[in-house]
Amino acid sequence: MAHIELRNVTKTFGGKAALKNLDLEIADGQFFVLLGETGAGKTTTLRIVAGLEKPDDGTILIDGVDVGGWGAAERDVALVLQQYSLYPRYTVRENLEFPLKSKIRRVAPAEIQERVERVARTLRIEHLLERKTDRLSGGEMQRVSIGRAIVRKPRVFLMDEPLSALDAKLREALRTELKRLQITLGATFLFVTHDQVEAMSMGDRIGVLDRGRLVQVGTPSEIYARPTNTFVARSVGSPPMNLLDGAVRDGAAVTEAGFSLPISVASAHEGRPVTFGVRPEHLRLDPEAPAKARVHDIEDHGVEKIVTLATGDAFVRLTAPATQHPRIDESVGFSWNPEKIILFDRTSGRNLSAA
C-alpha cells in the first residue's frame, strides 16, 4: 500500500517529448487509471514509476520518499503487462514462485508454497500450477501474470493494458475480478489503458493523457460530465459526445450544421466561435422541435437505440428508447436538454463553463 506522487516529470526520447511536466498524485489504496491513446505517454509514466525508465527531470515519491535513485527491484512494485509477462519454459508454479525467490526478499520455502497456493486459489488457477506457460490460453496467462504480481504483496500494482489482448467476454470478466481484487487487497493500483470503458468501470480516479500532458484528473463521473476540453470529451463516453461548431446568439446555439436550439448558458460567450458538446443521452427525438435532420443510421442495442442523424454536413448521435421506431432516411425533429450543453472554445478546445 502506498501513496505515489510524480512531480514535474519530463521525459524525451530522441528529441521527442513523451511526457511534459507531468504532475500526478495517487492516494493510498486508490485505483488510478491513466487513459490515453497510443503514444500519449501512459506506458512511459508506468515505466518511470516502476524504475525501468529514468525521467529527464522531475521527482517520483513513493510514500513521500524520493525513489529517483532506486532500481526497479528496490521500489517493490509489481508490473503486469499486456503480453510477454510470463517467463517461458517455466511452469505456472515456477512463475509464481519467481518473485519470491529473489535474493532481496528471502521468503521461507514453506511460505512460498503457501502463498503460491493461496494466490492460485484466489485467481482460480490451481489446476494450472504444473502447466508450462506456453500451454495456457490468453486469459489464463493474464491471470497467472496478475498472480505473479499479487503473490509478492507489493506496495503498488502497475498494470500496462493487461486486458487489451483478450477477447471481449474475458476482458469483462477479468475487469470485475481485478476490481474485486483491488478492493480486497486494499492496494494502490496504477492501471494504464486506451479503453475508456475499462477506465470508466474500474477507476476510482482517471487521468487523461494527451501527448505527454495530463489534461484532466477526476472521478469517472467528473470526467464524463465535465470534460475540461474537447479531447477529454471525445475520449470518454460511448457513443462519444457530439461536438458541433457554432456560436451563441440570443441565448440559443446556432450550429454550423444548420440547426439552432436553445441553451441555458451565461451570455458572456455571445457571438464567440465555440464548439457545443452534448452527450447522446441528452438529445431526444422530438417531432415538435425546430431542429430537423435525416436519420442516417440506427444501431439497435435492445434496451435503447443509438440513432445517427445527418444534419448539414455533420452527424449527431442520440440515444432513443426502445419504444421509438425511427426509420432510416426518415426526416425527424430533435431537441436537447439545454442544461446539459457544454461550451468549448473553438480554437483552444477548452471548456468555457469550467474556467
Please give the radius of gyration of the chain, using alpha carbons only, rounded to the nearest integer.
24
CB of 94 or CB of 204, closer to another protein: 94
CB of 38 or CB of 84, closer to another protein: 84
CB 344 within 8 A of CB 352: yes
Q: Is 207 in the site for another protein (CB under 8 A)?
A: no
Least CB distance to another protein at residue 182 (A): 19
Applying CB under 8 A, the span of 74-82, 255-263, 269-277, 305-313 interacting with another protein comes to 74-82
Least CB distance to another protein at residue 133 (A): 11
CB of 81 or CB of 261, closer to another protein: 81
Q: Which of 69, 104, 287, 313 touches another protein by CB under 8 A?
A: 104
Residue 197 is placed in which grid cell?
A: 470503458
CB 294 within 8 A of CB 302: no
Q: Is 138 in the site for another protein (CB under 8 A)?
A: no
Applying CB under 8 A, the span of 81-89, 134-142, 282-290, 317-325 interacting with another protein comes to 81-89
**HSE, side-chain direction, 13 A CA sphere, residue 1:** 10
x/- mask, another protein, residues 105-134, rule CB under 8 A, reads x-----------------------------
CB 232 within 8 A of CB 207: no
Q: Is 79 in the site for another protein (CB under 8 A)?
A: yes
Least CB distance to another protein at residue 116 (A): 14
82-101: contacts with another protein (CB under 8 A): 83-85, 87-89, 98-99
CB 8 within 8 A of CB 58: yes
Least CB distance to another protein at residue 330 (A): 49
CB of 87 or CB of 127, closer to another protein: 87
CB of 91 or CB of 337, closer to another protein: 91
CB of 99 or CB of 333, closer to another protein: 99
Total of chain residues touching another protein, rule CB under 8 A: 26
Q: Which of 11, 42, 143, 152 touches another protein by CB under 8 A?
A: 152
Q: Which of 12, 39, 52, 204 touches another protein by CB under 8 A?
A: 52
Residue 157 is placed in which grid cell?
A: 500494482
Q: Is 81 in the site for another protein (CB under 8 A)?
A: yes
Q: Is 103 in the site for another protein (CB under 8 A)?
A: yes
Least CB distance to another protein at residue 202 (A): 22
Q: Is 102 in the site for another protein (CB under 8 A)?
A: yes
Q: Is 162 in the site for another protein (CB under 8 A)?
A: no
CB 48 within 8 A of CB 11: yes
Q: Is 236 in the site for another protein (CB under 8 A)?
A: no
One-letter amino acid identity for 310?
A: A
Q: Which of 78, 236, 261, 278 touches another protein by CB under 8 A?
A: 78
CB of 85 or CB of 335, closer to another protein: 85
Contacts with another protein by CB under 8 A lie at 50-52, 71-73, 75-79, 81, 83-85, 87-89, 98-99, 102-105, 148, 152
